[in-house]
Amino acid sequence: MIVCPYTHLVEQWKEDLLVFGIEPIIAYGDPKYKDYESRLRQAVFRYNLETKKFFCLLTTKDTFCKDKVQKQMNDVTKAGRKKEIMDLWRELVDGAGIWIEKPVFD
């Protein structure tokens, strides 16, 4: 999961990830990524079934904080993974000096 403050950084990350053969689920307001909710839902479902070992969500901070995205991330139930994601998010937020008003995960 890569959360960027601005859309142009999402696009830069996308280019770098593709070089390494990683096709991210890109989530923000651009119409060309309008299917991100269904792609994320399917990736989380397959990840929880353990038919998918990895998925990459590449998004903006604003989109990441939306209720629909938060619900999907809360659905990541594979043992221990939710805690790892929460710890990583806290580290990123603290390191960037960002304050989020609502909790990121339940």
pLDDT mean values, one per 10 residues, the chain (106 residues): 88 91 92 93 88 88 88 71 57 53 45
How far separated are the first and last CA of the chain, in Å rounded? 18
The predicted model scores a pTM of 0.73
Identity (one letter) of the amino acid at 81? R
Whole-number pLDDT of residue 23: 92
pLDDT of residue 106: 44
